[in-house]
Amino acid sequence: MAILLSALILSSCSFFPGEKNRDSDELAVNIVIEDNENLILSQNIFNTSYNNDVTLSLKTKEGYKITGCDYKDYSIKKTSDIYEITLFNVKYSTVVSIQTAKSDIQIKYELNSPTDEKTSQTFTEYPDATHIKLNTAIYSDDYFINGYTLAGWNTAPDQSGADICLGGRIGFDSGENSKVLYGSYVKWTDAALFTYEENNGFITITGYNPENINLIQEKKLVVPQKIGGKSVTYVSDNAFDGFKADIDVLVLPPCLKTVGKAAFKNCTFSEIILYDSLENVSDYSFEGCNNLRTLRINAATKPVYCGTYYATFPDKIDYLESIKKHFPDNRTLVLFSGSSTRFGYDSPMLEQAFQDIKVANMGVFAYTNAMPQMDLILSYMQEGDILLDSPEFDASRRQFCVLNKFDDKFFNLIEENYCLMEKLDLRNYTGVFSAFNEYLLVRRGMEKRSYDLSPSDYDENFNKIAQKSYNAHGDYILFRPNATDDAPVFDLPVDYLVSAFPESYVDSLNRQAQKFTDKGITFLFTYAPRNIQAISSESTYEKRMELDNYFKESLSFPVISDIEDSLYEGRYLFETDNHLSTEGAQIRTKRIIEELKPFLD
């Protein structure tokens, strides 16, 4: 049983230690918060009953954060400016000391009205320095200005600086501990353009008035947040089908819930700005929008994947970007595939072997399309760099970039920095909006978290740990003992057969590799590790040799390894059939070093 106690609301209850609650037989227990000048408390005594879990909602003074407490068994979670501290199994009255510290970093926001310079709003957030780049504020109705939609943040008051999506990340220079960001507002398109109807106090846009197309300004179609004081929540099927106005940008409001089928069919815009508060959208909503290149997603809801392995992807991108900033003369070796890469390398060992190389481990999750991940990685690499790819054969269609179709898991990867989406050209992919819709549906009922959570503070199963689970390179470094035997963990044998990798697979990976070689980047192939007992019975030694020769002859880039070297005795795997133990990762890295020498020395 858990009880929520707010430190911000006065309580009329008055229990005393050891006294029975007069309305029940439960023994009353008092929790006393020790005086702390950095906390905002309306009371410091809270009441519960014997053996309950108790959650305290606490707020700090501006510029301070809660770092912990002295209760023996507790958890702490931050949402917005509220800290929730859960004390587990409270049996006796106790005094609890809440530990606070001054925040090292601040981001100040200035929201100036586009129509009245004297009207402005400012607020400051104090993010924890848990990432290389830090997240900005998400959308709130507090930022609403009638007639305008907040479309992003900008580093300059005249909007000439860097443009950042809401919730997106921003970097701090060495020694810098504060930033000022300015609201970037866009003016609503005049309501006279639209036809609409009211349903239960909300507005549904049903179409447009062709004679009023001249009301569009700056080639932006900005769907209003409100019409007649009521929120716009729905754009009907076919509402803008046949819309002939020359527009570059479509802006959808944060209150919008549904974009109907063919709602913007055949429209000419090249960019869409929307919010993750949307609930229903699909590829059919923008059918025939062949000019569409850029999607901006503004965060209007709290993240749910923070602290998980999905959230390592933006952290790894930040690290890859930082290498180019701090070591411009060094080549970068990028390690890529799925989770077998997270668990499969010792990057410091690689850097020690190759002194002029900086290593970034970009492996996260194999069961989402590798193509958009690799395209993002490519945008942070330069001539002379090296990418070492090790596709996981149990997810071969995704790992060999056979399809250009998006899936919802990709959005899990970029949730902590939606700005990454803007670096992808949507014309190169399919299924983007339907995948986004699935992502929104899955996360809707999940627990909301804070951007301040770092995956390195949790193990693979999201258990809080004392030591770091990831190093700066992106390797999973939590100690992983060898297995007690060689048996496979799962009964999911994988085919190591030529027939499992048709010519279309090879052609797809060759095309993806060409994007890198065209930029002067060396693209190399090695095999992902796997328990040798977790392959199919048909995958005999002779068949494996046939597959090895097939790849070496068919792939347009070097295969640096022999297939047999990737098959390990099960004792060197950890909890799955392709995650290496700590010793296994060291064995593999030593072998990879020798295989890389002809290409890196």
pLDDT in tens, 458-496: 999 999 999 999 999 999 999 999 999 999 999 999 999
In this prediction, residues 316-337 reach a mean pLDDT of: 96
Closest CA to 48 of 67, 71, 68: 71
pLDDT for position 440: 98
Question: Exposed, middle or buried: residue 226 (CB in 10 Å: 0-12, 13-18, 19+)?
Answer: middle
pLDDT-derived band at 26 (thresholds 50, 70, 90) equals low
- Give the per-residue pLDDT at 3: 46
In the chain, % helix, strand, coil (3-state, to 5) comes to 25, 30, 45
Q: Hey, what are 535's tokens?
A: 């392959």
Task: Give yes or no on whether 191-298 and 309-416+449-600 have one common fold.
Answer: no
User: What pLDDT band is residue 7 in, cutting at 50, 70 and 90?
Assistant: very low
Report the relative pairing of strands 178-187 and 249-251 from DSSP bridges: unpaired
Triad 593, 595, 600: Cα angle to 5°: 70
Query: Contact, 99 vs 65, CB < 8 A?
Result: no
Say which residue the tokens 């009441």 belong to.
47
Given this model, what pLDDT does residue 62 score? 82
Burial 400-420 (b: 16+ CB within 10 A, else e): bbbeeebbbbbbbbbbbbbbb
Q: Tell me, what amino acid is at 349?
A: M
Tell which wins on pLDDT, 24 or 163.
Answer: 163
> Residue 266: in which H helix or E strand, if any?
none
Cα–Cα distance measured from residue 149 to residue 156, given in angstroms and rounded to the nearest whole number: 18
| Inter-residue contact 389 to 337 (CB < 8 Å) | yes
Mean pLDDT for 269-291 is 97
- Mean pLDDT computed over every residue of the chain: 92
pLDDT of 10 above 60: no
Contact 239, 260 (CB under 8 A): yes
Number of other CB atoms surrounding residue 23 within 10 Å: 6
Q: What is the mean pLDDT of residues 569-587?
A: 97
- H/E stretch holding 290 reads none
- What local confidence, expressed as pLDDT, does residue 2 receive? 47
Q: In Å, how far are 66, 88, 89, 189, 528 from 72, measured between CA atoms?
A: 16, 9, 10, 57, 43
Query: Sorting pLDDT into bands at 50, 70 and 90, what band is 28?
Result: confident
Where residue 234 falls among pLDDT bands split at 50, 70, 90?
Answer: very high
Nearest-angstrom CA–CA distance, 276 and 439:
10
Which stretches does DSSP call E strand in 362-401?
386-389
Tokens representing 211 are 């004679």
pLDDT exceeds cutoff 50 at 22 = no
CATH number corresponding to 191-298: 3.80.10.10
471-476-479-480 Cα dihedral, nearest 10 degrees: -170
Mean pLDDT on 585-599:
97
Report the alpha-carbon angle 413-394-529, nearest 5: 90
Nearest of 144, 79, 82 to residue 111 by alpha carbon = 144
pLDDT (mean) for 136-165 = 96
For position 577, what pLDDT does the model report? 97
Half-sphere exposure of 352 (CA within 13 A, CB side): 6
Architecture (CATH level 2) of domain 309-416+449-600 = 3-Layer(aba) Sandwich (3.40)
Mean pLDDT, rounded, for 270-279: 98
What is the DSSP secondary structure assignment for residue 405, as one 8-state letter? B
pLDDT at 48 over 90: no
How far apart CA 416 and CA 389 sit, in angstroms, is 25
Question: Could you give the angle at the alpha carbon of 38 between the alpha carbons of 33 and 42, nearest 5°?
Answer: 50
- Across residues 516-543, what is the average pLDDT? 98
**Which residues on adjacent β-strands are paired with residue 152?**
184
Contact 493, 577 (CB under 8 A): no
Element of type H or E holding 584: helix 582-600
> Are β-strands 226-227 and 230-235 bridged in parallel, bridged antiparallel, or unpaired?
antiparallel
pLDDT band at 118 (very low <50, low <70, confident <90, very high): low
For helices 312-326 and 370-378, angle between their N-to-C axes, nearest 10 degrees: 20
Domain assignments of the chain as residue spans, ordered by start: 2-102, 106-187, 191-298, 309-416+449-600
Say whether pLDDT at 255 is over 50. Answer: yes
Strands (E) across 441-489 are located at none
Q: One-letter amino acid identity for 531?
A: N
At which residue do the structure tokens 């300004």 appear?
217
Sequence-distant (≥ 6) Cβ neighbours of residue 542 within 8 angstroms: none
Tokens linked to 567: 């098959």
Question: pLDDT class for 443, splitting at 50, 70, 90?
Answer: very high
**Residues written for the chain:** 601
Q: What is the pLDDT of residue 117?
A: 63
Q: Please give the model's pTM, rounded to 2 decimal places.
A: 0.88
Q: Tokens representing 238? A: 């076919």
At 221, give phi and psi (nearest 5°): -100, 105
The token pair that represents 371 in the structure block: 């193509």
Q: How far is C-alpha 103 from the chain's CA centre? A: 24
- Say if residues 385 and 524 touch (Cβ distance below 8 Å): no
Confidence tier at 155 by pLDDT (50, 70, 90): very high
Tens-place pLDDT, residues 175-204: 899 999 999 999 999 999 999 999 999 999
Mean pLDDT across the stretch 79-95?
85
Distance CA 83, CA 61 (A): 12
Report the pLDDT averaged over residues 254-274: 97
Q: Is 195 left (phi over 0), alpha (psi -120 to 50) or beta?
A: beta
pLDDT band, residue 82 (cuts 50/70/90): confident
